[in-house]
Chain A
Amino acid sequence: MFKIVHREELGQGTVILNEIEAPLIAKKAKPGQFVILKANETGERIPLTMADTNLEKGTITIVYMIIGRSTATFADLKVGDSFMDVIGPLGRPTHLEKVGKVVCVGGGTGVAVLHPITRALKEIGNDVTAITGARNKDLIILEDLMTKASNTLHICTDDGSYGHHGFVTDILKEKIENEDIKMVVAIGPVPMMRAVAEMTRPQGIHTLVSLNPIMVDGTGMCGCCRVSVGGETKFACVDGPEFDAHKVDFGELMLRLHSYTEMEKQSYAKFKGEK
């Protein structure tokens, strides 16, 4: 069992942060890696990329938006409750290199995933600009952490209620036009990652994205998470989750994410009915 030692509600309670006791995972985890979690006996296995680890406390941190049955089940767990199963660290760590000016772009809960990567890129001496976005001010998450993790932080809101009025890509465009950007990391909803990929493609700026396909085991034994990268089939759980954004077939990823939409609705409705 994996005990929750700290819990926070972000983004007006729609996004939950859990710090979980998992000393063996905390010891091994590197930026970019994920864990698979299962809340209880009847639960499903859900992948979440780690937002942080704490070696001394032996904890890992995950951040998720409540969007369906499993995340709602997770969100019901209080401090002192436990996840039944947490498996990791899984996937390949981010390839960290000192290249100069780097832009890290995050949207939604992708900001949490972006956090350890941003921090690590800064720690090895890159000049890191972070750009995070949300629909409105209340949905902005982890502002403090991202401020510390980056050299400069820009915040965007779709409705202009905080920071820049507009999309993360607006700021990214400006940076690309005016500065010598060597690398971009983009993590968030698929349309956002695709938009970033299209923006950096003409300049040939090396761009990394962390993909979020459906997974079951997370160890390469089922192929549920397969994605097309440069025309080849890859398993995101073992070959990724990070890939070269200019080679990813985002359209296919988006379609595959809808594999179980109807059953997901059914399951969530049953959960809400029971409460």
Chain B
Amino acid sequence: MADTKNKPGRVSMPEQEAKVRAHNFLEVPEGYTLQMAQEEAARCLHCKTPLCTQGCPVGVLIPDFIALLVKGDITGAARKIWERNALPAVCGRVCPQENQCEGNCIVGKRGEPVAIGNLERFVADWERENGSGQLPPHEPKTGKKVAVVGAGPSGLTVAGDLIKKGHDVTIFEAFHKPGGVLVYGIPEFRLPKAIVGQEVHFLERQGVTINCNSVVGKCISLDELFEEGFDAIYVGVGAGLPRFMGLPGENFIGILSANEYLTRTNLMKGYDFPNYDTPVPQGKKVVVLGAGNVAMDSARTAMRMGAESVKIVYRRSREEMPARGAEIHHAEEEGIELCLLANPTKYIGNDEGRLVGMECLKMELGEPDDSGRRRPVPIKGSEFIIECDLCIVAVGSGANPLLTGETPDMELNRRGNVVAEPGSGKTSKKGVWAGGDIVSGAATVILAMGAGREASNSIHRYLTLGW
């Protein structure tokens, strides 16, 4: 454990108590004060070769911004982060830092790593609330026009990078609000929508145009974008096709994809029904299928919507759960039960077509499969029933063919994801780049932003030097 004499532990961030927060949509961690942030910042050793920066998919110059924070130059720290990251208030909150910057931190080898995520969040929040509002420096205008399809994390990153390099950027977004998964997927209590809104607005203030309600593929094609004078296109449309398990009874009322459940609650603000018009099903006994971050978000949302019980049903064991440790911990603190080594086999409905329960089989772990994880094997005759009136299916999502289906000259792989050159994001269609979940399949916000970063570098080279 940490040598507590010489190396103080990290400054913990105050958070809402589990019993209280399980019933509201307010953000769980409350943020650092300036004093806390500077105390935590003082733990950074300012390594000459900072491994933390290497662990950051967008390469934020971490020791540099921390040094400015220590000096009390918060605006300077914010500008330093913006050089590499257009969405620091988002990243500070939702990145899995334990596998990235903080996972690489030298201080972490012998104790707790520097709380880089918390510091990034502090700097971004402070600058937004108290800062000068000054914009980052931009290169002179190049006269080149770039279209970005999708206003999720990767598209916003590309837009933020290219506007600073002097190009004109227009984002086309299918929904009525920009942000992608940041507004429809990640719940308010993890990422307040007002913060996403302000971070997006910061890009608009720098000159990025955002066209909402624009379903590229339906209201305009990629070729038509070129005809309209765009010089390059970035496709960052995400992995927005929900997977269902194909079980009998899947269309009973009360069975929703996590996409639908979270969109209704977050984007449409259904948690504030009837002040907002979109209804969200109010389950008393809720089951969430799956064990990734989306499953945790769905379960924690259902608890806040007034469920009596929320169970996460997962066919493997706790060790294989793909969600972040912190998210599982938060969920359990809020009273969510884990029902592990169980796999649903069918849904049970009543005469009105409403869900009343599901049949599951108990599982045991067998030999490791291709993914290296031990394969769950059903135990014969172990059927059991879970009573439930709401089931949220969070077993992953695939590539939505809405745009790619209308773009036959852009190569796809057998899963329907766009094939893009590693390191640059170039697709088989000239002048078109792609990145984020539409290329990688469902992954994390920060990996999508990293892909955006690589693509924006490549787009910039193309616009200044050629393909």
> Would you call B218 an interface residue if the criterion is a C-beta within 8 Å of the partner chain's C-beta atoms?
yes
Q: What A residues does B175 contact at CB under 8 A?
A: 217
Annotate A262-275 by CB proximity to B: 1 below 8 A, 0 otherwise: 01101100100000
Of all chain A residues, the one with the shortest Cβ separation from B239 is A221
Given the contacts A88-B215, A89-B219, A255-B253, A221 and B281 also touching, CB distance less than 8 Å: no
Whether A267 and B352, one on each chain, are in contact in the complex, defined by CB atoms closer than 8 angstroms, is no
Q: What B residues does A45 contact at CB under 8 A?
A: 176, 268, 278
Interface size class of B (residues with CB under 8 A): 35 or more
Given the contacts A85-B176, A87-B176, A255-B352, A267 and B242 also touching, CB distance less than 8 Å: no
Given the contacts A219-B400, A267-B273, A44 and B259 also touching, CB distance less than 8 Å: no
> Would you call A25 an interface residue if the criterion is a C-beta within 8 Å of the partner chain's C-beta atoms?
yes
Q: Is the interface of A mostly helix, strand, loop or mixed?
A: mixed
Whether B250 and A233, one on each chain, are in contact in the complex, defined by CB atoms closer than 8 angstroms, is yes
Whether A42 and B257, one on each chain, are in contact in the complex, defined by CB atoms closer than 8 angstroms, is no
Whether B259 and A223, one on each chain, are in contact in the complex, defined by CB atoms closer than 8 angstroms, is yes
Given the contacts A24-B219, A87-B176, A89-B218, A252 and B279 also touching, CB distance less than 8 Å: no
Of all chain B residues, the one with the shortest Cβ separation from A33 is B218
Residue of A42, A233, A260 with highest tally of chain B CB at under 10 A:
A42
User: Residues of A within 8 Å of B, CB-based: how many?
Assistant: 42
> Would you call A222 an interface residue if the criterion is a C-beta within 8 Å of the partner chain's C-beta atoms?
yes
Q: What A residues does B254 contact at CB under 8 A?
A: 259
CA distance A224 to B259 in the complex (A): 9
Partner of B277 from A43, A86, A233 at Cβ < 8 Å? A43
Q: What B residues does A86 contact at CB under 8 A?
A: 213
**Count: A-B pairs, CB below 8 Å:** 115
A155-213, CB < 8 A from B: none
Whether A42 and B276, one on each chain, are in contact in the complex, defined by CB atoms closer than 8 angstroms, is yes
Of all chain A residues, the one with the shortest Cβ separation from B282 is A263
> Would you call A84 an interface residue if the criterion is a C-beta within 8 Å of the partner chain's C-beta atoms?
yes
Q: Is the interface of B mostly helix, strand, loop or mixed?
A: loop
CA distance A264 to B352 in the complex (A): 17
> Would you call A115 an interface residue if the criterion is a C-beta within 8 Å of the partner chain's C-beta atoms?
no
Given the contacts A44-B278, A85-B213, A87-B174, A221 and B240 also touching, CB distance less than 8 Å: yes
Separation in Å of the A31 CB from the closest CB of chain B?
15
CA distance A45 to B278 in the complex (A): 8
Whether A220 and B250, one on each chain, are in contact in the complex, defined by CB atoms closer than 8 angstroms, is no
> Would you call B300 an interface residue if the criterion is a C-beta within 8 Å of the partner chain's C-beta atoms?
no
B248-283, CB < 8 A from A: 250-251, 253-254, 256-257, 259-260, 263-264, 268-269, 273-279, 281
Q: A42-B275, A228-B251, A252-B251 are in contact. List 16 more A-B contacts (CB 8 A).
A: A24-B220, A43-B276, A73-B277, A85-B213, A88-B215, A216-B263, A216-B264, A216-B268, A221-B241, A222-B242, A223-B242, A227-B251, A233-B250, A256-B251, A260-B281, A263-B273
Q: What would be 17 A-B contacts, judged by CB atoms less than 8 Å apart?
A: A43-B276, A44-B268, A45-B268, A70-B277, A85-B212, A88-B215, A219-B174, A219-B240, A219-B402, A220-B400, A220-B402, A223-B244, A224-B260, A258-B253, A263-B274, A267-B277, A270-B274
The 10 closest A-B pairs by CB, nearest first: A255-B353, A222-B260, A221-B240, A263-B279, A44-B277, A44-B278, A85-B176, A223-B257, A87-B213, A260-B279
